[in-house]
Chain A
Amino acid sequence: TQLLEQSPQFLSIQEGENLTVYCNSSSVFSSLQWYRQEPGEGPVLLVTVVTGGEVKKLKRLTFQFGDARKDSSLHITAAQPGDTGLYLCAGSSNDYKLSFGAGTTVTVRA
């Protein structure tokens, strides 16, 4: 059972469209990370958010941490085929153990 629920499970869009992935929990986290994972590889860290209400932008990616630090979202503007991958959110309520969601598989069609 995953502590974090991600939605949607799958997302397929055309190049140039926008997308949003959601990560929800009933638990409060001291920090939350977003990773992207490609088949056969390990997750690659995209961002860490630690403050409720925090918004971080990395080029076309915007990450938001909920005010209550229980949920987060990832928004991609003008998606490109290179954005294709499995997006994982992971929360920590201590300083060592990450609890992951099951992930959202994003496919961007050229």
Chain B
Amino acid sequence: DTGVSQNPRHKITKRGQNVTFRCDPISEHNRLYWYRQTLGQGPEFLTYFQNEAQLEKSRLLSDRFSAERPKGSFSTLEIQRTEQGDSAMYLCASSLADPGQGTYEQYFGPGTRLTVT
């Protein structure tokens, strides 16, 4: 089991540019989550997928943000027209949603650090 992977690990971009991040979840996990973490804070929920369906989006996710999980495996998070306030660590997590288990433990990737200059 290779765990959750994210690419790139670091991204520096100029304000106004578009960026795209990729997340590969643990292979048997059917749920995938995106969080954002700024300095001195815990991660904040952005959105999540069950298989290929995007089931909830946070109000933090402005219309410049879009996430996809086209085949229910990897996911991409795109930010259009980046702003300096988008600078943060973007974390991806995955879990196995099993109603019989009753818990949905989320396992995080190493994150993508975005810096907007």
Contacts and interface: CB of A to CB of B under 8 A. Distances in A.
Interface of A: 2, 4, 31, 33, 35, 40-45, 48, 50, 88, 90, 92, 95-103
Contacts, number: 66
Contacts of A35: 108
Interface string B53-90: 00110000000000000000000000000000000000
A43 B105 contact: no
Interface of B: 4, 6, 31, 33, 35, 40-45, 48, 55-56, 91, 93, 97, 102-111, 113
A45 B97 contact: no
14 contacts: A40-B110, A40-B111, A41-B111, A42-B4, A42-B91, A42-B93, A42-B110, A45-B108, A88-B43, A96-B31, A97-B48, A97-B56, A98-B45, A100-B43
Contacts of A42: 4, 6, 91, 93, 108-111
B111 A95 contact: no
Given A42-B111, A97-B56, A33 B106 contact: yes
6 nearest interchain CB pairs?
Answer: A100-B42, A42-B108, A42-B111, A97-B45, A42-B110, A43-B108
Given A95-B97, A97-B48, A102 B42 contact: yes
SS class of chain A's interface: helix, strand, loop or mixed? loop
B106 A45 contact: yes
Contacts of A43: 43, 91, 108
A41 B110 contact: yes
